Amino acid sequence: MNIVNLFGVLSGLQLSKKKTKALWIGASSKNKIEPLKFQCPKDPIKFLGTYLSHDAAANNNNNFYVKIRKMETKLNTWRSRDLTLFGRTILAKSLGLSQLIFTASMLSVPETVIQQTQSKLFAFLWKNKRDKIKRQVLFCPLSKGGLSFPCFRTVVKALRLSWISRLLNNSHDTWTAIPNYYFDKHGGLLFLLNCNYSVEKLDRKIPLFY
């Protein structure tokens, strides 16, 4: 705590104990001791726009389902407008997926979230009526007769894959220590990228995100 206080004096960034919350992790996740008298709430803690806790259901609700409801509310304000399919596609991207992109880039997205999000987007496109065009066709670019309509499953995969280049290009940065800890148990990331293997045979202790 002395180091934190010294940092505050030198930088002018004082730590407020009343506003600071702590979260035990790893083997100490069930520890009830409050370190340095910081609050250790059981409810999810909001950190940089993302909720964190040991309650997976509460995390998913705050990080995804609440945002899906907000997305639906925003899209509903445009539902009665006489918009073209192209216009609705643009809104599905700008007002729809934009609500989830940041969180989906950092957390593992549950299958139910992917399905529910896609369902809400198509409901907006067709005004809660049955699809008139095959969804796989709508996902295609305009040059191939589609609408470039957002496929949330593909977006999630793209966001996940983007971390590979970041790991390879920033291999000596501090944040890479955690993912590399798990990858190194299996020969390292480069080794895994050049192997043909079944994901099911990997160590079950690897976090789902990785």
Report, in this order, helix, strand and coil percent for the chain, each rounded to 5: 60, 5, 40
pLDDT (0 to 100) of residue 125: 94
Q: Which segments of the chain have a pLDDT < 70?
A: 1
pLDDT (0 to 100) of residue 49: 86
pLDDT (0 to 100) of residue 54: 85
> Quick one: which of 21, 28, 33, 35 has its CA closest to 54?
28
pLDDT (0 to 100) of residue 9: 80
pLDDT (0 to 100) of residue 152: 96
Indicate whether this model's pTM tops 0.75. Answer: yes
Over residues 5-45, the pLDDT tens digits come to: 787 788 877 877 777 888 887 777 777 777 777 778 778 88
The CA distance from 49 to 23, in Å, is 16
Retrieve residue 153's tokens. 């499953």
pLDDT (0 to 100) of residue 73: 93
pLDDT (0 to 100) of residue 110: 94
pLDDT (0 to 100) of residue 178: 86
Question: Which residues share a beta bridge with 46?
Answer: 51
Secondary structure (3-state) at 91: helix
pLDDT (0 to 100) of residue 136: 94
**Cβ count within 10 A of residue 182:** 16
In the block, which residue shows the tokens 């299996």? Answer: 186
Separation in Å, CA 141 to CA 89, 137, 150, 208: 12, 9, 10, 31
pLDDT (0 to 100) of residue 157: 94
pLDDT (0 to 100) of residue 32: 78
